[in-house]
């Protein structure tokens, strides 16, 4: 039973992650666990704790009923949590860039900003 539940949670998480256009590292960062741990969870090799499952559902905008395999995404409407916003801040590339920028020194950030300004079209 526990194995089937772990697989169900993993399949639902993977489906929701793919629908959101996120990487495993993106989700792991959002819920506060190591990406390797998230990968095992998504493959159904481990069950998340209840607090981690809660954070997972919030981060992926996933119904707990779907995550636990009690209902299908189609029966509750896959678009239940979707927003119409196509904001660039939610793109995986933008999140990866922001993670990289956060690790840079002030001087490095200044240089990256100058490079970006030089390649953008002038208004």
Q: Coil, strand or helix: which one is 58?
A: helix
Give residue 72's pLDDT. 60
The region that residue 59 occupies, defined by phi over 0 for left and psi between -120 and 50 for alpha, beta otherwise, is alpha
List, for the chain, all residue ranges whose pLDDT scores fall below the cut of 70: 1, 71-91, 123
Q: Coil, strand or helix: which one is 74?
A: helix
Give residue 83's pLDDT. 44
| pTM for the whole structure | 0.57
Give residue 89's pLDDT. 58
Mean pLDDT of the chain: 82
Give residue 88's pLDDT. 59
Where do we find the tokens 């300004």? 117
């Amino acid at each position: 039973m526990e194995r089937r539940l772990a697989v169900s949670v993993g399949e639902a998480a993977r489906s929701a992650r793919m629908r959101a256009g996120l990487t495993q590292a993106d989700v792991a960062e959002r819920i506060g666990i190591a990406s390797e741990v998230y990968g095992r969870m998504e493959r159904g090799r481990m069950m998340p704790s209840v607090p981690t499952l809660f954070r997972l559902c919030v981060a992926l905008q996933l119904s707990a009923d779907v995550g636990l395999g009690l209902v299908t995404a189609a029966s509750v409407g896959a678009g239940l949590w979707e927003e119409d916003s196509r904001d660039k801040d939610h793109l995986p590339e933008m999140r990866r860039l922001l993670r990289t920028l956060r690790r840079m020194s002030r001087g490095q950030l200044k240089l990256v900003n100058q490079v970006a300004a030089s390649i953008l079209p002038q208004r």
